[in-house]
Copies of this chain bind each other. A is one copy, B any other.
Amino acid sequence: MIVRKLPEIRKSDRNVVSKGWESARLLLKDDGMGFSFHVTTLYAGAEIEMHYTNHLEAVLVLKGTGTIEDLGTGKVHRLAPGVMYALNAHDHHIVRPKTDIVTACVFNPPVTGREVHDENGAYPAAADMAPREAALSP
Contact = CB atoms under 8 A, between A and B. Distances in A.
A94 to B, nearest CB: 12
Contacts of A122: none
A4 interface: yes
Contacts of A84: 2-6, 26-27, 37
A1 B88 contact: yes
Copies in the complex: 2
A86 B27 contact: yes
Interface residues of A, number: 39
A7 interface: yes
B37 A106 contact: yes
Interface in A1-24: 1-7
